[in-house]
Amino acid sequence: MSVEDKQKPQRNDRVTIRTVATHAGVSVAAVSKVMRNAYGVSEALRAKVTDAIDVLGYRPSRAARGLRGQSFTIGVLLIDIRNPFLPEVIAGVNGVLAPSHYQAMIGVSDAQVQLETSLIESMIDYKMDGLILVAPRLPSEILAKFAVEIPIVAVGYHAAGATAFDTVNADDQRGAEIAVEALLARGYRDIEMLSLGEREGHAVSVVRQREIGFRRAMQRGGLGSSAPIGKIPIASPKREEAMRKFLSRKDRPRAVFCWSDLDAITLLSLAVEMGVRVPEDLAVIGYDNSSTAALGLVNLASIDQSGRELGQVATRALISRIEGRSAAEHILQIPSLVSRNSLAGSEATKQG
């Protein structure tokens, strides 16, 4: 009895638009108009309604909103939450969204195409207003298909030809070039890139772009014939194995460009462990300028692509798309080198 009495009011006390309307002595439509500040409401009406809203603490139901109009939510899909680059992107997104009435909801796909698909579908089914996909793994045609249902901006996804959705990237080719140029400028000639295995990075991924840039810069430097690219698996036991093998190679190069700080930092760690001195025996450049790279202990030179800025730009692009733009935009930021100890000095000149 008393239990029921306690349950009932809980259930019923949701303040809906109707409650507000009754309390303010106006129609539901009027309240809705005020909420969306649509045309045709007098100051008097607006005051009555906002008062009622304040008194009652009314919040519109996102679910109901989504069913009919906008939900004022944008979905963000992350391929992986462990990569320290991603949080930066989120920070950028949240920064731009904060002053607006939009909110971000994040899904994590863990690099599984299956999960990625179902998360995107869910976000569509929630009637979110737009999607920011960070380094998605799905092929461009599939994204294009989704893009007819919902505005999409892809970050870290090189599909400059896409007409159905926007892309925002740092120029990964250029980033790799900058890395190689820095090494060349310091006298290194014997340079190798450590990249991701074929299976883990598709054609439009940032990794492949960095490989292209690496090759081009090597070519320009007159080292076109020998621009070796090693592939490091992503999963844990094999990954360290491959790095150890690299470090103990007789013909190990004098300098290495890693596709990501994630790999570069582990490489640095293993190097210490194996007695390979950095930068004396081996110069290392990473990618992403993660916070770990900046640590005094690590001191890893790295290509900075400002994830935060990418997040900001992507968000602004998405909002403009939500607001009606239909021509695709493909934005490219220029990355820069952050030089640190792992690349120090010009001591590489002693090599042949």
Give residues 5-34 in contact with DNA (rule: CB under 7 A). Answer: 14, 16-18, 26-30, 32-33
Asked whether the beta carbons of 97 and 154 are under 8 A apart, the reply is no
Query: 3-state SS of the chain: helix, strand, coil percent to 5?
Result: 45, 15, 35
Residue type, 141: E
81 versus 160: smaller Cβ distance to its own copies: 81
- Identify what 273 binds: DNA, its own copies, none; CB under 5 to 8 Å per kind: its own copies
Asked whether the beta carbons of 168 and 331 are under 8 A apart, the reply is yes
Tokens in use for 84? 């320290």
Binding of residue 127 to its own copies (CB under 8 A):
yes
SS3 281: coil
Question: Looking at 5, 9, 40, 251, which residue binds DNA (CB under 7 A)?
Answer: 40
Binding of residue 322 to DNA (CB under 7 A):
no
Binding of residue 47 to DNA (CB under 7 A):
no
Tokens in use for 166? 């926007």
Question: Looking at 10, 42, 225, 346, which residue binds its own copies (CB under 8 A)?
Answer: 10
- Identify what 313 binds: its own copies, DNA, none; CB under 5 to 8 Å per kind: none
CA dihedral defined by 287, 292, 293, 294, rounded to 10 degrees?
130
| Size of residue set near DNA by CB under 7 A | 31
How many angstroms separate the CA atoms of 189 and 56, rounded? 71
State in angstroms the smallest separation of the CB of 24 from its own copies.
Answer: 20
Give residues 272-331 in contact with its own copies (rule: CB under 8 A). Answer: 272-273, 291-292, 295-298
HEC string for 169-188: EECHHHHHHHHHHHHHHCCC
Angle in degrees, CA 101, 104, 110, rounded to 5: 175
- Identify what 70 binds: its own copies, DNA, none; CB under 5 to 8 Å per kind: DNA
Contact positions vs DNA (CB under 7 A) = 14, 16-18, 26-30, 32-33, 35-36, 38-42, 44-45, 58-61, 63-65, 67-70
